[in-house]
Amino acid sequence: MLGRHEVVAVVTQPDRPAHRGQRLTPPPVKTRALAAGVEVLQPPRLRDAEWPERLRALGADVAVVVAFGQILPRAVLDAPRRGSINVHGSLLPRYRGAAPIQWAIMRGETVTGITTFQMDEGMDTGPMLRSASVTLGAEETAGELAARLSVLGAEVLVDTLAELDTLTPRAQRHEDATPAPRLKRADGHLDWNRPAQELVNRIRGCNPWPGALTRGPAGTLTIWRATVAGTGPTRTPGTLARPADGDAPVIAAADGWLRPIEVQPENRRAMSWADYLRGARLSPGDTFSAPDSSGAPR
């Protein structure tokens, strides 16, 4: 049950290989649904001709779609009697696409939220039903924000379903739309010629995936957390420097300095910046650069 609503079935992706042994692993929602005694369907492609009729046969009043990972055709969206509702991790029309949480952080937003909307065949373009906003923490990562929005999203969804008979859908202002495409590994490559705050935001937005990568004298390094360590003119972005306050070394950016907090050398565990520096034996003047698309140094 979902509040006073009955869940007649869960539709999710097929089991896929995962973890070190590449064992066939079910999606978490499948595990939860089976434990609750709910029927589970796992179509390889919902565009295949038989699926709209199979979904109609469930007799559902409405479908709820959350991060399904496929573009759904009109016949699937219209299979339930009252269509399909999406729970989206942004304040639409901003950040339409597969990675709204990550791009909101990387673009420096301080407020984001959840929107429920009636789905059409476009990419997050349907009329909006309800929304709720949250303030982003200054150090909050994409993983942390996703966990927080998952709770809020469930609350907004329950309210949406409860008020479905009285809500008036609101058309989106398409001219205000911003894209949030699926992240690629290269989106995590750090360009030290960018401003320090922009780099910190990219590091936050790429945690936990794909990770923010740089290349230094000791090899490829993933920076999981960092902070701006001051602003001002710098000579060579990417250069390691000892700050005047005597604190841990910083890396020069376009307009100031960035201090890593948590890092992970290639093929090693995550560690503090101080522990990494002790083992890497770096010196002021050493440089970091962006990896190329293969992860190798430029």
pLDDT in tens, 277-295: 999 999 999 999 999 754 4
Task: Please check whether the two domains, 43-176 and 185-280, share a CATH topology.
Answer: no
Look at residue 13 in the predicted model and tell me its pLDDT. 94
Contact partners, residue 257, CB within 8 Å, separation at least 6: 196, 228, 229, 230, 231, 234, 241, 243, 250, 251
**Do residues 215 and 297 lie in contact, with contact meaning Cβ atoms separated by under 8 Å?**
yes
Mean pLDDT lowest among 11-15, 20-24, 229-233, 274-278: 20-24
How do the domains of the chain map onto residue ranges?
Answer: 43-176, 185-280
Look at residue 2 in the predicted model and tell me its pLDDT. 55
Per residue in 59-96, is it b (16+ CB within 10 Å) or e — as a string?
ebeebbbeeeeeebeeebbbbbeeebbbbbbbbbbbbb
pLDDT in tens, 177-223: 999 999 999 999 999 999 999 999 999 999 999 999 999 999 999 99
Confidence of residue 38 (pLDDT cuts 50, 70, 90): very high
Look at residue 292 in the predicted model and tell me its pLDDT. 74
Q: What is the mean pLDDT of residues 67-83?
A: 94
Percentage with pLDDT > 70 across the chain = 97
| CATH of span 43-176 | 3.40.50.170
Per residue in 246-283, is it b (16+ CB within 10 Å) or e — as a string?
eebbbbbbbbbbbbbbbbbbeeeeebebeebbeebebe
**Do residues 233 and 226 lie in contact, with contact meaning Cβ atoms separated by under 8 Å?**
no
Token code pair at residue 269: 């565990």
pLDDT in tens, 202-213: 999 999 999 999
Residue 1 pLDDT more than 70?
A: no
**Angle, CA 108 vertex, CA 105 and CA 114 arms, to 5°:** 50
CATH architecture classification, 185-280: Roll (3.10)
Confidence of residue 238 (pLDDT cuts 50, 70, 90): very high
Q: Distance between CA 67 and CA 12 in Å, rounded?
A: 10
Q: Distance between CA 117 and CA 112 in Å, rounded?
A: 16
Percentage with pLDDT > 90 across the chain = 90
Mean pLDDT lowest among 47-51, 222-226, 260-264: 47-51
**pTM for the complete prediction?**
0.94
**Do residues 40 and 12 lie in contact, with contact meaning Cβ atoms separated by under 8 Å?**
yes
Look at residue 145 in the predicted model and tell me its pLDDT. 98
Q: What is the mean pLDDT of residues 268-281?
A: 96
Nearest to 160 by CA among 118, 188, 121: 118
Helix ranges restricted to H, the chain: 28-35, 51-56, 74-77, 100-106, 142-162, 196-205, 273-280
Three-state SS across 178-213? CECCCCCHHHHECCCCCCHHHHHHHHHHCCCCCCEE
CA 198 to chain centre: 17
